[in-house]
Amino acid sequence: MSNIIQLLPDHVANQIAAGEVVQRPASVVKELLENAIDAQATTIKLVVKDAGKTLIQVIDNGIGMSVTDARLCFERHATSKIKLAEDLFQLHTKGFRGEALASIAAIAHVELKTCRDGDEIGTELRIEGSQVSGQEPCVTPTGTAISVKNLFYNIPARRNFLKSNNVELRHIIDEFHRVAMAHPDIRFEMYHNGSEVFNLPVANHRQRIVHIFGGKTNEKLVPVEEETELVTITGFVGKPQFAKRTRGEQFFFVNNRYIKSAYLNHAVNAAFEGLLKDKAHPTYFIYLDVDPKTIDINIHPTKTEIKFDDEHALYAMLRSAIKHSLGQFNVAPVLDFERDHTFDTPYAFKKKAAQQPTVEVDRNFNPFKEDSSTGFSPKKVTASSYRRDTAANWENLYVGLEGAEEEQSNEGNSFSAVEFETTEVTSQLFDENEDAALDHQLTYQWRRKYIITTIKSGMLIINQSRAHQRIVYEEMLKHITMSNAVSQQLLFPLQLSYTRQEIALLQEIKEQLQNTGFVFEKLAEEEVVVTGIPTAVSEGGVSLLLEQLLADLSNEVPDTSFSQTDLLARSIAKSVAIKTGTVIATEQQQHLVHRLFACTEPNYTPDNKPTFITMSVDEIDKKF
């Protein structure tokens, strides 16, 4: 029997490795940007076409590469970052595996131009599917420019798994944010299909965050600083009143490397305990600086997961640092019994001496002395005269009462002759007619979650929140398609602030939002001004609705099975629907039941969850 185990060819091995490293165009962007940072670049430009499917180009002004290095960098496990296994625990750079460029070159057309400082000419290298198709000298500025074209051209199955351009572009922007926030000392530029998306100058951490997420972000940030022997914590957390329903603006950086850690995220949530509303998530940008010996970043190909030596101590320090910052900047409620700030001396009066008050007394004043100008003299009042005057006044109060009493007694209208009327109570505890009682109350709300009503075959139990979702969903679909929604005008316009990416998302669905009843006075730059809202939406729920809508557009972007109109209607229905725990009056319960069964598909919610269940009389009888 022949041997069945054989070595894989290099191009097959590279394609398998590419499946771990390169999942989508955003993965290529991450690897190329990190290589540019390791090359000591001070300016990095990212150019993207068709959300990275056609072109991803990164241009930097770093140290560049020689002819030999340009050829070797595309070989598997070829790297300048490590030489010994012990170097894995002394890493100060981004890429060190030597897999990224080899994996990218196996599944795309790659063109590399590089030149070192001092060299007269550079090197141009072209690779297609791990095969070098050309290498020649070229004239290029100092640094490196690498272009990745036609990603997954030789793996059609992987290309079919890519989402729409909007989704892939958002993933690219997320990776761009993570790299740019970790390195505010580097200038970053990003262009998509010829238009500028970001132009981030050199700044500090706070300014870089504001440049990315908008000017309104500055007032939402609270600085966090803590330095210990184990870790140095810096960064910012958002004020509790600006917490969002989504987890979008949550970033951890360890040694300037973006990571994901559910354990550390729990520490932040613990620090905000009691300050956030239900289902709200805090905003944070936390930078951790630790000794490279105490972490292991070689546990995942994308290096977004890190293992710490002492996670428990790090958890406690992070929670304490955030709590201290929230209390120090009067964000968290505190009780201070030591002093009252209202008694503090103003700055202008701190060095002034206290003035002794003066009292002036007129020793010649006599209240009993007669005033010669007016002829007034005080009247002498004695106790006997006071009692006599008071008695005379009391007698005047009873003048005429005796005659009135005699007239009332003559007419027989005294209080003793007053008669009281009473009404006999004829109602009973139980109605004699049972059908009349059923007609009076056809529905019953149970546990503020379910509506119970009767049908011919038994009993119907309706989930009030899901039923209302179905009702609002079909109404919104009707309004969007027929453009006949009713809008309620606001007395004072609502001013909301969003990032430029969120504004771009809202502009894509502006027409559909207007068809549902929204009226926008302004929808540009980083501000949204709303002057009209749908009748089903409250004024206080507009911000939450748009926030939920943006989250759905980012995470549940429509593919071939859902249109953008359907996604918009589902998102609005989810935000506007009656929540569990809401008390509903009897008339509203009956109205909800009637509207549910008037829908085209009353059995399920837009997410295909059941809206009601039935229990027949036989099923109930079996219970007894």
Give 310-352 pLDDT, tens digit per residue: 889 999 999 999 999 998 877 766 555 565 566 666 666 667 7
Domain 10-200 class, CATH top level: alpha beta
Q: Is residue 304's pLDDT more than 70? A: yes
Residue 534: band (very low, low, confident or very high) from pLDDT cuts 50, 70, 90 = confident
522 token code pair: 């302004």
- Out of 15-29, 403-417, 426-440, 549-563, least confident range: 426-440
- Kindly report the number of other CB atoms within 10 A of residue 281's CB atom: 19
Under DSSP, the state recorded for 541 is G
Residue 561: band (very low, low, confident or very high) from pLDDT cuts 50, 70, 90 = very low
User: What is 205-328's CATH number?
Assistant: 3.30.230.10
266 token code pair: 């729990």
Apex 392 CA angle, 391 and 396, nearest 5: 115
- Please give the pLDDT value at position 86: 57
- Please give the pLDDT value at position 401: 60
Q: Does the CA dihedral 255-258-259-262 come out positive or negative?
A: positive
The rounded percent of the chain whose pLDDT value lies above 90 is: 34
Listed in sequence order, the DSSP H helices in 100-155 are 100-106
168 neighbors 52 (Cβ within 8 angstroms): yes
**Across 469-479, average pLDDT:** 89
Same fold, 10-200 and 205-328: no
The Cα–Cα gap between 445 and 461 comes to 10
- Please give the pLDDT value at position 575: 84
Under DSSP, the state recorded for 310 is -
- Please give the pLDDT value at position 419: 58
User: How far does CA 363 lie from the centroid of its chain?
Assistant: 75
For 416, half-sphere exposure in the C-beta direction (CA atoms, 13 angstrom radius) is 4
76 neighbors 45 (Cβ within 8 angstroms): no
111 token code pair: 């063109």
Q: Does the CA dihedral 302-305-307-313 come out positive or negative?
A: positive
- Please give the pLDDT value at position 289: 92
**Across 76-90, average pLDDT:** 62
For 387, half-sphere exposure in the C-beta direction (CA atoms, 13 angstrom radius) is 3
pLDDT digits (tens, 9 = 90+) for 252-288: 999 888 988 889 999 999 999 888 887 788 999 999 9
Domain boundaries, the chain: 10-200, 205-328, 443-614
Listed in sequence order, the DSSP H helices in 59-164 are 67-72, 100-106, 156-160
104 neighbors 22 (Cβ within 8 angstroms): yes
The Cα–Cα gap between 65 and 138 comes to 13
- Please give the pLDDT value at position 377: 53
**Across 558-579, average pLDDT:** 75
Q: Is residue 208's pLDDT more than 60? A: yes
More confident residue, 230 or 401: 230
**Across 589-600, average pLDDT:** 91
59 token code pair: 């241009």
CATH assignment of 443-614, given 3.10.450.50, 3.30.1370.100, 3.60.20.30, 1.10.760.10? 3.30.1370.100
pLDDT digits (tens, 9 = 90+) for 124-171: 999 998 888 999 999 999 999 999 999 988 888 888 888 888 889 889
Query: Considering the entire predicted model, what is its pTM?
Result: 0.70
Task: Compute the mean pLDDT over every residue in the chain, rounded to the nearest whole number.
Answer: 81
CA-based nearest residue to 178, from 103, 115, 258: 258
For 403, half-sphere exposure in the C-beta direction (CA atoms, 13 angstrom radius) is 2
